[in-house]
Amino acid sequence: MAIELIAVSVPGCVDCARFKKYWEETRSQFPGVAFREVDALTPEGQNLLLEHQILASPGILMDGSLFSTGPVPKEALAAKLRTLGGDKP
């Protein structure tokens, strides 16, 4: 079963763009991860912001739990995904 990775982002957010670029470059290392981006300005995005108390963008959710907000700690993200088996198909 795939790990769900969600980035709650805001249009024009520099850290959101950095994370998206990072993920595009590294997603092939994590075939067991299903990624999607949610615009924080949509109703779904607003619900996620409130539910997880996301105060900085991007908000990164991993299997429904908040992993980080603001600049993403890339090494920690990769380590957590490996721990959860995201590097396996």
DSSP class of 65: E
What are 13's two structure tokens?
Answer: 């957010």
Tens-place pLDDT, residues 28-81: 999 999 999 999 999 999 999 999 999 999 999 999 999 999 999 999 999 999
Q: Is residue 88 part of a domain?
A: no
* CATH, residue 27: 3.40.30.10
The total number of structural domains in the chain stands at: 1
Is 37 part of a structural domain of the chain? Answer: yes
List helix spans (H) across the chain: 14-26, 43-52, 74-83
Its pTM stands at 0.94
In contact, 59 and 8? CB cutoff 8 Å: yes
Neighbours of 25 (CB within 10 A): 9
State the residue range of the domain holding 21: 3-83
Residue 10 domain-assigned (yes or no):
yes
